[in-house]
Amino acid sequence: MEKLTIAQIKKMLTEEISSEQLAELKLDERKGVQLAIKSYEKRLKKIENEKL
């Protein structure tokens, strides 16, 4: 995957992404990317808990 801007990554994380894409994004050391990933994972966990 080419180097995306943080804004592009945030937009990407508003939709469903594959585990491979998520793993690749986790390799990006930029603070903004890491914060976006944490937010994405928190949102997924919240949705998952609401289904139970």
Query: pLDDT digits over 1-52, tens only?
Result: 778 999 999 999 999 899 999 999 999 999 999 999 999 999 999 999 998 8
Q: What is the pLDDT of residue 4?
A: 95
**pLDDT of res. 52:** 80
Supply the pTM of this predicted model.
Answer: 0.87
Comparing CA positions, the residue from 21, 29, 20 lying closest to residue 12 is: 21
